[in-house]
Amino acid sequence: MKTPRQRRETTTAYLFMLPGLLFFTIFMIYPLLKALQMSLYQWSIMPGRPSQFVGLSNYAQAFEDPVFWIALRNTVLYTLVTVPGQMILAMLVALLLNYIRSGRVLFRTIYYLPVITSWVIVSILFKYLFQSPGGLINYLLTDVLHLIAAPIAWLRNPTTAMVPIMSLGIWKGIGWSMVIFLAALQTIPGELYEAAAIDGASRWQRFWHLTLPLVRPTVVFVLVMLVIGGFNVFISVYLITAGGPMKQTEVILSYMYHQAFDFLEFGYGAALSYMLAAIILVLSFLQIRFLRRPVELY
């Protein structure tokens, strides 16, 4: 039995939650369920022509759609390149920043600047840098470094068009992982290193056997977040190549967006986005399940 006081408390709790839950339910939970429903329909936007229930055939359509496989391949490739790229460079910078005594805030600010700049601005910026023939990257590669003889048409060639998108992903993301890694490194007591040094551990051994195990939960957290971010890549692709040339640089979300808002294939678009959500959930679960282990200091 509930006492009147408990009941009053429950009412108060719901009153506190009301405004937030209203927004959350209407604009998050409802669309989440609605997308699932739409993915099962041949969704019609014509008035008077009802949408048709088609079961899982939108999902089946994806498996037979060659562009879906290209988009999936590009998304996976983007994640495989940018996640380790960001993590290794971010860890390196974090170790260097943890080593120095003055100037840490200044360097941290500089490395963090790309993170806070909007995706729109940096995407346009990288499009400009990778222009052909007059872009800065081509100029550096041909006339300054003499690595290539003629400018590369980065954005017009399917094999090179992912280069600006991936380098943007790494460049923009380093700062975020670096800040998280640095905070974790700063919690490690210095005496541990002194003890390891006295025992004759080399720098690499200290990093591999001492630092890394101690910051392991942080590394796993960053990995999970970056993989989610990698599979979510959209704005850079949409603005730099728009999935072109010939749909060769589509990623899942850009393909979904084009299907929905250019070709009005809303049911198929919803199915594509649900497949992406499923992939992300499964990957996140697997990473947490298999990589997170309790760390013991003693």
Partner 1 sequence: MRYEGNPFEKWLVYLLLVLGGVIMLFPFLWMVSTALKGHIYVIETPPSLLPKEPTLANFVEAWTSNRFQLYFSNSLVVAISTTVLSVLCSAMLAYAFARFVFPGKEVLFYALLFTMMIPGLVLIIPQFFLAKTLGLRNSLWGLVFVYVAITTPLNTFLLRGFFEQLPRELEEAVLIDGGGHFTIFFRIVVPLSTPALATVAIFTFLASWDEFVWALTAIDEMSKRTLPVAIAVFQGAHATEWGLVFAASLIAAIPVITVFVSLQRYFMGGLTSGAFKG
Residue 117 CA to residue 110 CA, distance in Å, equals 12
List the x/- string, 43-82, binding to partner 1 by CB under 8 A.
----------------------------------------
Please identify which residue in 206, 216, 244, 287 interacts with partner 1, judged by CB under 8 A: 206
State phi, psi for 219 to the nearest 5 degrees.
-60, -40
Q: Tell me if 93 contacts partner 1 by CB under 8 A.
A: yes
From 49-57, 60-68, 152-160, 252-260, span contacting partner 1 (CB under 8 A): 252-260
User: Closest distance between partner 1 and the C-beta of residue 90, in Å?
Assistant: 11
Residue 279 CA to residue 241 CA, distance in Å, equals 24
Q: Tell me if 150 contacts partner 1 by CB under 8 A.
A: no
Please identify which residue in 53, 80, 84, 103 interacts with partner 1, judged by CB under 8 A: 103
Q: Tell me if 216 contacts partner 1 by CB under 8 A.
A: no
Q: Tell me if 183 contacts partner 1 by CB under 8 A.
A: yes
SS (H, E, C) 159-204: HHHHHHHHHHHHHHHHHHHHHHHHHHHCCCCHHHHHHHHHCCCCHH
Please identify which residue in 67, 141, 201, 235 interacts with partner 1, judged by CB under 8 A: 235
Residue 13 CA to residue 233 CA, distance in Å, equals 38
Give the HSE-up count for residue 189: Cα atoms under 13 Å, Cβ half-sphere: 5
Cross-strand pairs, 56: none
Token representation of residue 73:
């391949």
Please identify which residue in 60, 96, 148, 246 interacts with partner 1, judged by CB under 8 A: 96
C-alpha distance from residue 288 to each of 7, 220, 284 (Å): 38, 7, 6
User: Closest distance between partner 1 and the C-beta of residue 123, in Å?
Assistant: 8
Given a contact cutoff of 8 angstroms between Cβ atoms, the answer to whether 164 and 127 are in contact is yes
Q: Between 159 and 262, whose beta carbon lies closer to partner 1?
A: 262
Q: Tell me if 190 contacts partner 1 by CB under 8 A.
A: yes
Please identify which residue in 81, 239, 250, 258 interacts with partner 1, judged by CB under 8 A: 239
Q: Tell me if 153 contacts partner 1 by CB under 8 A.
A: no
Token representation of residue 231:
């599979």
Binding residues for partner 1 restricted to 269-288, rule: CB under 8 A: 269-270, 273-274, 276-277, 280-281, 284
